Amino acid sequence: MTSLERILAVCAGKIPDRVPFLLASREFSSRQAGMSLLDCYTQPERYIDSQVRLVDEFGLDGVYDIWCTPAVDELLGATLEFSSSDSASIPNGSVSCLDDVKRLPKVDPRREGRAPYLLDVVRRLKKAVGDSVAVIAWASSPFRTASMLRGVTDFYRDLKRDPAFAHALLNAVHGPCTAYGKALVEAGADIVCSSNPGANMQCISRPYYEEFSHPYTREMFGAIRQQGAKAVMFHTCGKWDDRLDLVVKENIDIVHCDRVDIAGFKAKYSGSAVLMGNLRAVEVLLQGTEESVGRAARECLAQGKEGGRYILSADCSVPRDTPAGNVRAMGAAVRDSGRYDRGDGEK
Ligand SMILES: [Zn+2]
């Protein structure tokens, strides 16, 4: 069974040979290769090599693109700030009124701005790993892009004071976000992943999530599936307990969970989505020992493995300074304790 087959098996409700193992690893792989994050944007071959090395050295079942680079936001007028050790950020909003929304440019994320570079990285990643390993590529969700263009605080205020304006902005960015997600599939991404850290329970209440995030995400992910994505993955940064029932209805195959109880999630939502997670990236993977990482990974497997529908991962992206031995210990745990014996758990 290949790595990609292993992941697609759990998505299809089948039992693979062992639990798949994925890590959002842009920072970690760059560090391992002696690159800064800035180098990723100018030296595609080195970034691709750094990802392929993780598959070879740590037994990961997939590679990631230069994820969380908001190329669409930039095309729509946002100014990105890059740093050598952190994700690109957008310090200020660029949309302040309805006229600004109407003036947003018509963009083609296949051909303009930074997007073609990122798409080319996806294309080359697929070529490098072939059919056997999953290529996972990131697309911004409409809610995330809207809040970046508007400025996060102002956008939260709009949800309450001017919902029509918030919807106008969401509708304007929905097309470009979806077009970029579809372009990732065309470029060779097997799995399109997205994230929306500003829509967790600490940021907005469930009714706001249901009105301003849920329908737009569901539509976008549906279109990406129609484009031929083998799976759609959504990363829930922070706490999402009161809205996971909505998330699993958003045309999502895999929920990469941050703070959830694995057994509890599986009991409730296993029929709707695969759970991926959630060994603590900072407290255990970065700061722990090989022994404590191995123990935590086996605890995750003990809760998640039975019946399939589970991918071992960290709860968020792997910190760049994570000791290689700790990642190796996680891989060893999945090879030892993540194996399904014939007939094990088959339903
Ligand atoms: Zn996260």
CA of 147 from ligand 1 middle (Å) equals 17
The model carries a pTM of 0.96
Residue ranges per domain, the chain?
A: 3-337
Question: Three-state secondary structure along 259-310?
Answer: CCCHHHHHHHHCCCCEEEEEECHHHHHHCCCHHHHHHHHHHHHHHHCCCCCE
Question: Cα of 341 to ligand 1 centre, how many Å?
Answer: 32
Say what percent of the chain tops pLDDT 70: 98
Contact 31, 321 (CB under 8 A): yes
Query: What digits encode the pLDDT tens for the residues 228-246?
Result: 999 999 999 999 999 999 9
Confidence band for 346, pLDDT divided at 50, 70 and 90: very low
The 10 Å Cβ neighbour count of residue 164 is 9
Ligand 1 center to residue 283 CA distance, Å? 14
Q: How far is the CA of 61 from the centre of ligand 1 (A)?
A: 19
Average pLDDT, whole number, for the chain? 96
Residue 88 pLDDT: 86
Tens-digit pLDDT profile for residues 3-25: 999 999 999 999 999 999 999 99
CA 158–ligand 1 middle distance (angstroms): 25
pLDDT in tens, 35-73: 999 999 999 999 999 999 999 999 999 999 999 999 999
Q: Are 105 and 78 in contact (CB under 8 A)?
A: no
Query: How many angstroms does the Cα of residue 34 sit away from the middle of ligand 1?
Result: 24
Angle value at C-alpha 219, between 214 and 222, nearest 5 degrees: 120
- 22 C-alpha vs ligand 1 centroid, how far in Å? 14
Ligand 1 midpoint to CA 97 (Å):
31
pLDDT score of 294 more than 60: yes
pLDDT score, position 163: 98
The Å distance, Cα 313 to ligand 1 centre, comes to 12
What is the 25 CA–ligand 1 centroid distance (Å)? 12
How many angstroms is it from 45 CA to the middle of ligand 1?
Answer: 26
**Residues 295-316, mean pLDDT to the nearest whole number:** 97
CATH domain 3-337 topology: TIM Barrel (3.20.20)
- In the predicted model, what is the mean pLDDT of residues 310-327? 97
Q: How far is the CA of 277 from the centre of ligand 1 (A)?
A: 11
The rounded percent of the chain whose pLDDT value lies above 90 is: 95
Confidence of residue 347 (pLDDT cuts 50, 70, 90): very low
Beta strands in the chain (DSSP E): 62-64, 134-138, 191-195, 231-236, 254-257, 274-279, 310-314
Tokens encoding 345? 């758990």
Residue 141 Cα to ligand 1 middle (Å): 14
